[in-house]
Amino acid sequence: MNRHFKYIATSFAILLLLDQAIAADQTQKAETAESKAEVLEQKAATEDSNTSPLTTEIITKPEAQAVDPAGKEPLDDAITCLSRTIYWEARGDGADGMEAIANVVMNRLGHEGFPNTICGVVTQGREQGSCQFSWWCDGRLDDAEEDEPYAIAKEIARKALNRQLPDRTNGALYYHRDNASPSWSVKYIKTVKVGKHDFYKPPSDAAK
């Protein structure tokens, strides 16, 4: 009986050590991804968008997926802010629709009239009571509710930050649901329809 107890205790200790090692590895990957994302968003906000990141700057898929795995962390890093926006704005639109939302966020990044960080772009306007992205201030919880769509959103966010995502919107800075007719849309040029959203850019290069 004593020997059996020792075996169970040893097995439990080994499993505990493995769990701790896995958790430490995931934490390290998440920290690496967040650090790379910060560098990439700074470059996207200040440099030509056609400039490819260095190999050492590329965020890997395991690194991106390690960030906010449950979709419940605070919105304080580029990957989480971009992923939640993609998820909440277009999780029912398929990959193309989700990529188009990512395109708009990245197109706004550093553009005249918009902030120089992804979280800044996503949360812009809250202090005036008029959000740029409705999910951010609709009064509901911002936690992701479905694992698979959120994982897809994070993969799209990773590619967007790595500049590996084609711009499906043709440079759009704005969009709305196809069943809406906001007054501002008549002032802009419609570039494309993707999924359930229509995308627009201003007639001049300056954002309003």
**pLDDT, tens digit (0-9, with 9 covering 90-100), for 101-146:** 999 999 999 888 899 999 999 988 765 557 888 887 777 778 998 9
* Average pLDDT value for residue range 144-157: 95
* 205 confidence band (pLDDT: 50, 70, 90): low
Q: What is the pLDDT of residues 178-198, one digit of tens each?
A: 888 888 889 999 999 999 999
pLDDT at position 50, please?
A: 67
**86: pLDDT strictly greater than 50:** yes
Element at 32 (helix H, strand E):
helix 2-46
pTM for this model (two decimals): 0.85
Q: Are 151 and 76 in contact (CB under 8 A)?
A: no
Q: What is the DSSP track for 78-102?
A: HHHHHHHHHHHHHTTSHHHHHHHHH
Burial of 145 by CB count in 10 Å (0-12 exposed, 13-18 middle, 19+ buried)? exposed
* Average pLDDT value for residue range 11-20: 57
Residue tagged 């700057």 (tokens): 57
